[in-house]
């Protein structure tokens, strides 16, 4: 399967996915392009190190979100992308984008959804005082962090946790869970009925 990874920042999840492909934890998949909305994203440096083509779609080059997404849809279709993987891509996509890749867009979020959606998931969970948090891999729908959940895993919040320490542990979890979800999808193991994803393993 042909994968596009969408990024805006550091790209540690991108790196984890590349590693998983190179070590056979994701089988029969190739990252054909890394797409960023920010030219300064460190994820682009990572892509280059691994000789993966990349492309920047700058917001200011398009008159509207619709125009931006339309250009991106055309680009991804031209590359014959099967699966769109959002890894720290800090942009909400339009309904048109979702329709073009229905159930073929994944996102990872650093909380146990539906708790703490949005861009401050880790800080919000810590401030709320939850004793357990975690991360969620889900399909993307029209809402923000609302699509069908593929995998979720919990970790305890420690009394001495800061946003940084909690974030670090969640990242470690993400780097394991995201490749796992992608591999399941590539192997056709995820069935979606309504909002629920069923995984037929073994």
Q: Pairing state of beta strands 83-86 and 105-109?
A: parallel
> Does 54 belong to an annotated binding site?
no
> Does 144 belong to an annotated binding site?
no
How far is the CA of 42 from the CAs of 17, 55, 90, 120, 192, in angstroms? 15, 13, 14, 20, 34
Contacts with ligand GRF, residue ranges (CB under 6 A): 9-13, 87-88, 108-110, 174
Active site residues: 109
Q: Which C-beta is closer to ligand GRF: that of 123 or that of 192?
A: 123
Count CB atoms within 10 A of the CB of residue 20.
20
Q: Which C-beta is closer to ligand GRF: that of 123 or that of 199?
A: 123
Distance CA 92, CA 164 (A): 25
C-beta separation of 14 from 42 below 8 A: no
Least distance from C-beta 11 to ligand GRF, angstroms? 5
> Does 166 belong to an annotated binding site?
no
Least distance from C-beta 89 to ligand GRF, angstroms? 7
List, as residue ranges, the binding site: 11-13, 65, 90-93, 107
Please state the residue numbers annotated as binding site for (6R)-10-formyltetrahydrofolate: 65, 90-93, 107
């Amino acid at each position: 399967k042909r994968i596009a990874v969408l990024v805006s920042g550091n790209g540690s999840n991108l790196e984890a996915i590349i590693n998983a492909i190179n070590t056979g934890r994701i089988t029969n998949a190739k990252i054909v392009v890394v797409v960023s909305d920010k030219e300064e994203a460190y994820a682009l440096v990572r892509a280059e190190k691994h000789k993966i083509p990349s492309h920047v779609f700058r917001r200011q080059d398009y008159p509207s979100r619709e125009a931006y997404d339309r250009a991106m849809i055309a680009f991804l279709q031209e590359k014959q992308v099967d699966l769109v993987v959002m890894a720290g891509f800090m942009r909400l996509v339009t309904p048109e984008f979702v329709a073009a890749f229905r159930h073929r867009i994944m996102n990872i979020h650093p909380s146990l959804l539906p708790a703490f959606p949005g861009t401050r998931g880790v800080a919000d969970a810590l401030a709320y005082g939850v004793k357990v948090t975690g991360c969620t891999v889900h399909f993307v729908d029209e809402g923000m962090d609302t699509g069908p959940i593929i995998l979720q895993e919990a970790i305890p919040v420690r009394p001495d946790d800061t946003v940084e320490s909690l974030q670090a542990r969640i990242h470690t979890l993400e780097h394991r869970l995201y490749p796992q979800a992608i591999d399941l999808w590539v192997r056709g193991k995820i069935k979606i009925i309504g909002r629920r994803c069923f995984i037929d393993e073994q």
